[in-house]
Amino acid sequence: MAEILIIDTDSVQAGTVAEHLRVHLEVSSTIFDSVESAGEKIASADIDIMAIILNLDASPENYSPFPDMPTIVVTNGMPTSGRQIAFAANVLDYIPDCRGYHLEYVLQLVKRVMFARNAKILVASKEKVNRTLMRKLLGNKGYSIIEASGAKAVMTSLYEHKNICMLLIDGDMCEEKNFAMIKNIRNDFKKNQLSILALCDRAMEYQRIMLLRCGANDCIDKPLRIEEFQVRVMLNLQLMEVISELTEFSNRDFLTRLYNRKYLFEIGSALFENYKRDALELTLAMIDIDDMKSINDTHGHLVGDMVIKKTARALNSNLRSADVIARIGGEEFCVLATKVRQDNAFAVFERVRKSINEEIIDTPAGPLKFGICIGATTGIRDSFEQMIHDADTLLYKAKAAGKNRVIIG
Ligand code: GH3
Ligand code: MG
Ligand code: MG
């Protein structure tokens, strides 16, 4: 699991930051009181380090003691040294406050590192030297960077790589003949998926307007001013991050953090069409908690909620991360599994059922054991809706046959 290193002589302050990161971002941190002791840990290479938060009274040249690690500097330095810090390739940002961390700001920066670790930036120019320059300006801030040497390579990379969230096009690819490329990209990659930044001459007014009209998010003036370049990249990434958070929020169920009904139907129909076209196996399971009403009546709604969360955890831990697991109603769930073979489906879902039914939960109203019913269809049907309907029928049969059981069809 990825970790943050906090280097600070004040262990109480550092502890507060660590706790804040744990509670709000579920990130773990290790605290060191010196660069030397942190260095030993880094050298031992037995942890995956996400970023370093450095709060030491160091001179500006020491603000970047580990040049390969994204670093957040908390400093009481003057604004001039602040700018020196900002230019250090791996410094994500600096927080000029000597009397303590700006916790909310640290949180935002760490969130950006987490986002950057999963995000890729594609830099495009016909000239290697320009691509190398852009790569250098982006620095070691945790971004993973890919290069493309022309319009064709841009398109290939966008389709081949997952999670490219930003495309930087250098001036030599901003000419009129490249407008069509941007339009084409926008057919498949909307602004909420991919941010396109064009680096072009300030004087080329027509070109800039057309780039923006064809789908670029922003233009950055050439010749480049380093700090402006970095700030614009960061602001556009921040926007992508907010969009991705909002999308995630609108696709998730609040209580269990599983996908919600809306997402299941969006992804389900698309997945179904792909699997049908390629004649692949798809398994759809409907899951319903047994006697939920009576659990609520006997133990109260809070325990009822615990039961729903426990079911969600059991589904998560017994199925693959590629499977779509959704809470589609109060105590009803649906699983769309792409790698569960027909002959293996019963074993997979029986394992889920057992893991729930075998555990006893302590509640104020006494011990509680509960069951679930699962109805699952394997193989492909005529439509996604038909698969849901068939799985529902099997679920109903499981209830009618005495509950706490799995029926596969
Ligand atoms: P069966 O075994 O036939 O499925 O019976 P059941 O009682 O589980 O089914 P029924 O459809 O009669 O009741 C579902 C209950 O689930 C009623 C509702 O109060 C409860 N429920 C729905 N959503 C939530 C929730 O978010 N939290 C809690 N605690 N209960 C919920
Ligand atoms: Mg129900
Ligand atoms: Mg029920």
pTM over 0.85: no
Q: What's the pLDDT score for residue 76? A: 67
Q: How far is the CA of 342 from the centre of ligand 1 (A)?
A: 30
Residues 6+ apart with CB under 8 A from 50: 2, 3, 4, 27, 70, 110, 113, 114, 117, 142
User: Which ligand has the nearest atom to the CA of 333?
Assistant: 2
DSSP codes, 89-103? TTEEEEEE-TTS--H
Q: What's the pLDDT score for residue 87? A: 58
| Cβ–ligand 1 contact at 351 (below 6 Å) | no
- For domain 3-105, the question of CATH label 3.40.50.2300 is answered with yes
Residues 6+ apart with CB under 8 A from 240: 115, 119, 165, 166, 192, 195
- 359: which DSSP letter? P
Q: What's the pLDDT score for residue 78? A: 54
| Cβ–ligand 1 contact at 241 (below 6 Å) | no
Cis peptide before 67 (omega within 30 of 0): no
Q: Are strands 372-377 and 366-368 parallel, antiparallel or unpaired?
A: unpaired
DSSP codes, 98-148? TTS--HHHHHHHHHHHHHHHH-EEEEE-SSHHHHHHHHHHH-SSS-EEEEE
| Cβ–ligand 1 contact at 296 (below 6 Å) | yes
Q: Are strands 120-124 and 164-169 parallel, antiparallel or unpaired?
A: parallel
Phi and psi angles of residue 213, each rounded to the nearest 5 degrees, phi first: -65, -35
Pocket of ligand 1, candidates 331, 332, 357, 372: which has the most ligand atoms within 8 Å of its Cβ, to mutate?
331
Q: How far is the CA of 289 from the centre of ligand 2 (A)?
A: 7
User: What whole-number distance in Å separates Cα of residue 293 and Cα of residue 46?
Assistant: 49
405 touches 342 (CB < 8 A): no
User: Which ligand has the nearest atom to the CA of 399?
Assistant: 1
Name the β-bridge partners of 289: 372
Classified as helix, coil or strand, 222 is strand
Phi and psi angles of residue 290, each rounded to the nearest 5 degrees, phi first: -75, 140
pLDDT under 50: residue ranges of the chain? none
Q: How far is the CA of 312 from the centre of ligand 3 (A)?
A: 14
Nearest CA to ligand 1 atom 13: 293
Q: How far is the CA of 257 from the centre of ligand 3 (A)?
A: 20
Domain coordinates in residue numbering, the chain: 3-105, 120-251, 261-408
Nearest CA to ligand 1 atom 23: 330
| Cβ–ligand 1 contact at 297 (below 6 Å) | no
Domains 3-105 and 261-408 belong to one CATH topology? no
Which residue reads 């290697």 in tokens? 128
Q: What's the pLDDT score for residue 198? A: 96
User: What whole-number distance in Å separates Cα of residue 339 and Cα of residue 352?
Assistant: 16
Q: What's the pLDDT score for residue 116? A: 78
CATH says 120-251 is which class? alpha beta
Q: What CATH code would you report for 261-408? A: 3.30.70.270
Rounded to an integer, what is the distance from CA 283 to the centroid of its chain? Answer: 25
**Tally of CA atoms within 13 A in the half-sphere of 227 that contains its CB:** 7
Q: What's the pLDDT score for residue 281? A: 85
258 touches 325 (CB < 8 A): yes
Q: What's the pLDDT score for residue 180? A: 92
What would the two tokens of residue 49 be? 């380090």
Pocket of ligand 1, candidates 292, 310, 353: which has the most ligand atoms within 8 Å of its Cβ, to mutate?
292
pLDDT in tens, 168-186: 999 999 888 889 999 999 9
Classified as helix, coil or strand, 324 is strand
